[in-house]
Amino acid sequence: MNDSHELLLIGRETAGISEALTPDSLADMHPGWSADVAAYGPWELRDGDWRSCGWRGPATVAVCGRCSSSLDVARDLAGQGSIGPWDAVLATSQTAGRGQLRHEWSSPQGNLYAAWVLPRFAPEWDVLLPLVLGVICAETLDEFGIGAQIKWPNDLLVDGRKVGGILVEERGGILIAGLGLNIVRSPGDDAIREAWSPGAASLADFAEPPTPIRLWSALVERGKDWYNTALCGSTPREFIQTITRRMAWFGRVVRIHGTGRECTARVVGLAPDGGLVLDYGDHRDTLYSGSISPA
């Protein structure tokens, strides 16, 4: 890969990490991928990878076949210096996708499984990154006529159903965000781990969904804009004050799970360090771990 932005299909199988792709094999996986192959062609085989001759996107995107996790592939490429800040790996499917608390993330073909290499932020923003990415995702979905909310700490909901999740990992000084979005498929209610967890849905349940690469390009454009304006020109406290309208169940009584004791409280805001501020009636406290559901 060179310094210019590229869209490429990883055409070399990496043992234990990812399977090889060609334009034809990608197009056969799902109509959304087929549309992307047509939109960004023609494709040229060079140095073992298929490279788009029609890409004018905001960063490099490497699409890989079935893999353990897009995070694993991105970490491997970033460690080689092949991708850098704002670049990403999109996987067609995953065998070991993971979400919050390393829970397995269902990964059928047709959805978006992205690993996004992030630039360095000022330290005070580190704990807020899942929320920042949630806002970026929600605002991007607005462009496609889909109104999403952020379920603290790192999920995306549409009409109360989960359509995506966010995971941020740092290893060896490389910061990577894992983003999963159900574009066309979602797990059935019988596959939901906890009875109190919101059911899942796909973007296709609410509107004509974008294709994976089109959606990703819009997300990167929005992320760069946020970085250059909001994050470099405001404080975490100012950010927190602006996102409450995006929070699921703000002002409502919720049930708290995963803290050792189940109880209820009203969601009243976010702390500057990203904690969820709850009103228990006789006192307020800030939640830093666990999960919530409508009471």
Which pLDDT belongs to residue 233?
80
- Mean per-residue pLDDT, 283-291: 94
Is the pLDDT assigned to residue 79 strictly greater than 70?
Answer: yes
How many residues in total does the chain contain? 295
- Domain ranges in the chain are 7-235, 249-294
Share of the chain above pLDDT 90, in %: 74
| Average pLDDT across the chain, whole number | 91
- Give the β-pairing of 61-64 and 88-91: parallel
Cα–Cα distance measured from residue 224 to residue 68, given in angstroms and rounded to the nearest whole number: 28
Fill in the amino acid letter for 161.
Answer: R
pLDDT tens, residue by residue, 148-195: 999 999 999 999 999 999 999 998 889 999 999 999 999 876 656 666
Would you identify the CATH topology of the domain 7-235?
BirA Bifunctional Protein; domain 2 (3.30.930)
pLDDT tens, residue by residue, 104-132: 556 789 999 999 999 988 888 999 999 99
Q: What angle do CA 136, 142, 146 make, to 5 degrees?
A: 120
Taking residue 27's Cβ as centre, other Cβ atoms within 10 Å add up to 16
Nearest to 93 by CA among 116, 117, 63, 118: 63
Which pLDDT belongs to residue 262?
82
> How many CA atoms lie within 13 Å of 216's alpha carbon, on the beta-carbon side?
30
CA 163 to chain centre: 10
Pair 32, 184: CB distance under 8 Å: yes
Which pLDDT belongs to residue 1?
42
Q: The tokens of 251 are what?
A: 């002002």
Is the pLDDT assigned to residue 103 strictly greater than 60?
Answer: no
Class of domain 249-294: mainly beta
